[in-house]
Structure 1
Amino acid sequence: MAAPLRVGLIGMGNVGAGVARILMEHGPRMEQRTGRPIQLIRAAVRDVHKPRDYTPPAGMLTDDALSLVRSPDLDVVIELIGGLRPARELVLEALQAGKHVVTANKALLCEHGPELFAAAREAGKAIAFEAAVAGGIPIIHVLGAAMTANQVIEIRAILNGTSNFILTEMFQKGTPYDDVVREAQALGYAEADPSMDVKGTDAAQKLSLLAHLAFGTRATPSDFIVQGIDGIEPMDFKYASSLGYRIKLLATAKLVDGRLEMHVQPTLIHRENPIAQTEGPFNIVALDGDNVGRTVYSGRGAGQLPTASSVLADLVDVAVGRAQLTFPRLELWHDAPQFPLQPIDEIRRRYYLRFLVLDKPHVMADITDILGRNQISLASVIQPESPEVEGGGGPPTVPLIIMTHRCREGQLRRAGEELRKLSCLLGEWKCLAVSD
């Protein structure tokens, strides 16, 4: 029998409690599959007296995380506290103390990945992070191992289950945005402050990690377009559906003429596409490889047990030595040529434009003149019939929906500056990308 793998856990929140429970209750099953006992030795928490859904054996909890990562009786540290500090310092200490690290912290890796990976290489240890992206979907393994015979050409994905749940409820039930956010919070899908999810930040951090693995390009969310779902209104679902589309928070990274195009935005996707059909708190990742073609992976992207499952998969890889073999292969990317990012203004695609306008003469001419002068061609126009106004009442307000042909982001932005000056437009107008 091989020597036990001794584990220290930092963080006993929702996911941490799931990890601890599985390790303590299903240790024999994991030992049977790895040929090596995996033992949870110690867990660090902020308050050892706080009531928890799962209470580990007496004496296992400590409030001294630094002492835990430095402890000589541990082989691997699982970091599940999230955020940048003190997570960065604790991970660095664990590596310097000769321990492998398993983490679900996409923000930490997105911000400090190069520093942490360099420290792991120097220490001869591995950082495993399957749970950092797409919950229970093993997408890191796919990119790091299964797709190594391919150059990935494109990634298109739903990477945030909270936003997908909100968009699904708004579309299927017509529930207002604020009400759905409260429902998501009550169900445990959204935090008390849901901004990381609904603003697109969470999905953008995950896309950054996937792009690094697939293309060798280091890009943070500040380097590409990131747009959230908080401005989507019920009428947008109605008109998108009438055109044959669903609205999803789509994360995209794809090669275009040797440059990497990246963006995370609410996007119209044709309703027959599997991505458009992904509903509720589920994630989906579609990969195009130059040899294998398209492969698609879907499953729960968040939640206690799906995420804990990925954490434990990494732990098993450490126990049998796969993580130690895979991590250096992943890190070959740090020496590989990077694909430069496509300038944002050069991104080409179609767009959905929705305006609220005064129904009076010359409004359509004013809008189409601005679009035409910026070389934006119209594919279709929808304007519902407005009621006739008797007497001296002012002109009614009507929605105007325009689908464009492919154009550059820079052209659309220049047109937008002119459109905002039109007095016939009421309130904020909506612009959403369309995925072909």
Structure 2
Amino acid sequence: MDHEPTDPVIDALRRAVASAPHDVPLRVHLGRLLLDAGRTAEATAEAAAALAAEPTDAAAGTLMLDTLRGGSAPVSSAAPSSAPSSSAPEETADDRTSFDWHAAEQEVEHLVGPAFVDDLDADDPDLPSAFSVEDPGTRFTDVGGMEHVKQRLNAAFLAPLANPELRALYGKSLRGGLLLYGPPGCGKTFIARAVAGELGARFLSVAITDVLDPYIGVSERNIQAVFEAARAAAPCVVFFDEVDALGQRRSQTRSSHVRGMVNQLLTELDGISGGNEGVFVLAATNQPWDVEPALRRPGRLDRTVLVLPPDAPAREAVFRTHLRDRPLEGVDVGVLAKRTEGFSGADIAYVCEVAAERALMDSVASGTARLIGMPDLLDSVAEVRPSTRSWLDTARNVVLFGEDDGTYADLRAYLKKSKR
């Protein structure tokens, strides 16, 4: 490749542009000199850079026009003349109007991006919608213990789907809903994901913040959008977390906004606006007694499953999960499981965090890293109080003194067995 002849003026301007790259007039002046010297490609690059910095600059646009024509401009951009040059005709407004900017952009697309673009988000299938379904990535084998909950879920959803002939024989529909209730932190969301994994279905998790909107009618449209997304992705499990906030008792509120949300949710559960075949609705709540009774009518969230604090096998699995990637020595998860009766999964996770913190602080004080041992974990168990106690106290009052149509039979049996 031949080297361009050295021009001290051009070289000086290049250094000036390098020190002030956003100085558009300076860059245009350099481009004009390059064009006059017959170095069209370099002039085009300078014009493109000037237009990228200031797309509306007239001098930069004129320079680009001249470079594409392959010749120099009749006038200097630094000192425009009042009279046209005799070597070229004067450019008129019609010439600028008829200039093909699309062709010009194609000429310099390797140097600078286009000045204007269309809406890139309009037809992009990879962009998530307001309510996006996902693969759950969890199966029942990932859930330790909780055999009673698994049996109830198997009867409600899994067995009918796995046996289509028997489903047809007994007229069992692939639609319906189920309400998971129990103390906080006991894995209701995790179980819902496992149900979706067992069904081979997609998963759509919905929180109150995803739906609630201060403007009238928007919350109702959001609920409708949830079910439309689920129907389009069927089979799909829709999981409503904290459904008592979304579908609270209408008798306990005077807000027309809340009433509208509840009514819309009831409509969608009935599948009036679109068939719900293949759409499985799971909901979770810590306060089932605050849920609108109409939501638990047959055909809606008509089955309830009590998700209690994890049993011993489940507690062992939770300990193993949260201690898996930590340095351990002589840890017996069986002993830990026995010492944490009534702890939720979240409580056990916190126990592991406190034990790791103890070992870390000892290592900082001694200057030598040590492993997490049973004394750390047992001390943490003694320090942490189960968060389920307050919930069980409230539940006991509801069962003993509130209205119970048999919905809380499992809860009553558990309270009796645990002598609460």
- TM-score scaled by length of structure 2: 0.25
Which one has a larger percent helix, Structure 1 or Structure 2?
2
Higher Rg = 2
- TM-score scaled by length of structure 1: 0.24
